[in-house]
C-alpha cells in the first residue's frame, strides 16, 4: 500500500474517532455491561467454559448519539470449533417494534483486527421473536451479516445460494440453532472493514424468498461484534459503529 493511502486511512480513522466524545469503561468480568447514548456494550464471554485457557476484556473508547467506539482483546485456546465469546456493541431497542413497522435500519461500521491469524468472525447479529419480551440471547429468527471469516470458521447450516444485497455479493447459509431459524449472509472472500447498509434490505429479501413473517416478529437485538473461537492475543477495534431505526 502506498504511503499516501496509509496517511489517508489514518486520517479517516482519526476523523471518525474525533466525532465520538471520549467516554471510557473497562469490561473484564463475564457479561460486564455498559450503556449510554442509545448504545450498549457487552463483554459477552458466553462460551468461555469450553476453553482450556484464555481471557478477554472489552473497552469502551467513546460514545455519543452518533455512534460508539470500542475494542476487545482476547486469547483463547482449546475446542477450536466452539465459540468462546461474542463481545458486541448494539443499538438499544424499545420493546414491541415489529419488523414490518420499520422502514429503514441504516447502519455503518468501521473495524480492524491487529492479528488476523485467529479463528474468528466479524458479524452483525439481529434477533427477532414473536414475543416482544423474549430474552435477548436468542429469538425465533437470527439474521447474521458476516463481514469477515478468519481461520476456516463457518456459519450454522449449509450454503444455499449467492445473493446480491447492499451493493455486494453474499453467500447465504441457512440452518437451525435449536428452535431458532438462522440466516447468515457471508462475504464470499476477503473482508469488509468499512460497511454501510440498510439492514431492512436483508429482511425484505427473506420476506420475498423465505417467507419470513415480518408482521409477526419483534426486533430483539441489533448489534455487531466478533465471535472468537481460538488464537490470540488479538485486539479487535471498532473505530465507529452507528445504527438507527426509522
- Among all residues, which ones are annotated catalytic? 142, 227
| Residue pair 188/170 in contact by the 8 Å Cβ criterion | yes
Residue 64 C-alpha cell reads as: 455519543
Contacts of range 135-141, beta carbons closer than 8 Å, 24 or more positions apart: 136/220, 136/221, 137/46, 138/177, 138/178, 138/180, 139/180, 139/220, 139/221, 140/179, 140/180, 140/181, 140/217, 141/180, 141/181, 141/182, 141/183, 141/212, 141/217
Amino acid at each position: 500500500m502506498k504511503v499516501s493511502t496509509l496517511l489517508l486511512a489514518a486520517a479517516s480513522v482519526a476523523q471518525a474517532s474525533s466525532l465520538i466524545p471520549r467516554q471510557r469503561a473497562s469490561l473484564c468480568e463475564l457479561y460486564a455491561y455498559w450503556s449510554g447514548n442509545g448504545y450498549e456494550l457487552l463483554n459477552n464471554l458466553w462460551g468461555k467454559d469450553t476453553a482450556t485457557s484464555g481471557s478477554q476484556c472489552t473497552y469502551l473508547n467513546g460514545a455519543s448519539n452518533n455512534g460508539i467506539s470500542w475494542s476487545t482483546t482476547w486469547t483463547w485456546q482449546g475446542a477450536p470449533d466452539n465459540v468462546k465469546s461474542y463481545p458486541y456493541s448494539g443499538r438499544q431497542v424499545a420493546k414491541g417494534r415489529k419488523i414490518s413497522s420499520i422502514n429503514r435500519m441504516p447502519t455503518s461500521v468501521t473495524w480492524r483486527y491487529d492479528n488476523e491469524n485467529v479463528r474468528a468472525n466479524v458479524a452483525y447479529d439481529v434477533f427477532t421473536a414473536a414475543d416482544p419480551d423474549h430474552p435477548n440471547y436468542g429469538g425465533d429468527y437470527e439474521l447474521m451479516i458476516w463481514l469477515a471469516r478468519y481461520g476456516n470458521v463457518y456459519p450454522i447450516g449449509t450454503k444455499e445460494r449467492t445473493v446480491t444485497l447492499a451493493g455486494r455479493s453474499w453467500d447465504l447459509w441457512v440452518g437451525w440453532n435449536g428452535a431458532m431459524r438462522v440466516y447468515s449472509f457471508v462475504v464470499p472472500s476477503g473482508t469488509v472493514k468499512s460497511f454501510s447498509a440498510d439492514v431492512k434490505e436483508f429482511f425484505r429479501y427473506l420476506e420475498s424468498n423465505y417467507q419470513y413473517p415480518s408482521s409477526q416478529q419483534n426486533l430483539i437485538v441489533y448489534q455487531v461484534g466478533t465471535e472468537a473461537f481460538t488464537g490470540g492475543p488479538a485486539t479487535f477495534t471498532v473505530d465507529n459503529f452507528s445504527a438507527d431505526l426509522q
